[in-house]
Amino acid sequence: MSLFSPRPRPPQQPAPAPVAPPVIEPSPPVVEAPVVDTGPAITANELASHLAARLCHDFISPAGAIVSGLDLLDDPSAQDMREEAMGMIAASAGKLVALIKFNRIAFGGGAGAEVFDTRELESLTQGVFADMRAKLEWAVALPGLDKPAARGLLSLAAWCGSRRRMKAAPWC
């Protein structure tokens, strides 16, 4: 090999394939929930007071109708209204019993059952909704609900039923 002769070159390796730059996905925008000022927290005593007031409000109407019906029965000049008075007493007593049974499960510790049959819950709820402007469409597919779920469902039903004068929430 001479001094000026080119050196043998090693065999050339093929050029590496171009590497695509990594794709960086933009992160979704952060959506912050609006801050809602709900005012001061309600105490347990205030909650109990509101619940007691609500129950009294619900019970006073049928109880008052029963008393009015009994007054009509007692009035000698209103004997022609005897049948109407008995009908009013029976309907009001039925409404009062339905409200008590419903509220006993929705808010009380009365029922000993650990699992409630949803057919019974529907019957209780339909009994309360029978005298409301709101209409109930029962769509519970489960055969039974445990106590917390049953109470939550009945409480939500009571809340939705009481929204008759206001625009109801979408889930009602």
Contacts of 82 (CB under 8 A, 6+ apart): 72, 73
The pLDDT of 29-42, averaged and rounded, is: 73
Report the pLDDT value the prediction gives residue 165, as an integer from 0 to 100.
43
Q: Where are the domains of the chain?
A: 50-161
Report the pLDDT value the prediction gives residue 6, as an integer from 0 to 100.
64
Contacts of 103 (CB under 8 A, 6+ apart): 55, 58, 158
Q: Bigger pLDDT: 103 or 15?
A: 103
Q: Which amino acid is at 94?
A: G
Q: Bigger pLDDT: 47 or 118?
A: 118
Report the pLDDT value the prediction gives residue 63, as an integer from 0 to 100.
94
- pLDDT exceeds 50 at position 41: yes
pLDDT tens readout for residues 63-116: 999 999 999 999 988 888 889 999 999 999 999 999 998 888 888 765 566 888
Angle, helices 82-107 vs 44-74, to 10°: value is 160
32-41, 47-56, 109-118, 158-167: the lowest-pLDDT one: 158-167
The pLDDT of 32-58, averaged and rounded, is: 81
pLDDT tens readout for residues 116-170: 899 999 999 998 888 777 788 888 888 999 888 898 898 888 888 776 544 545 5
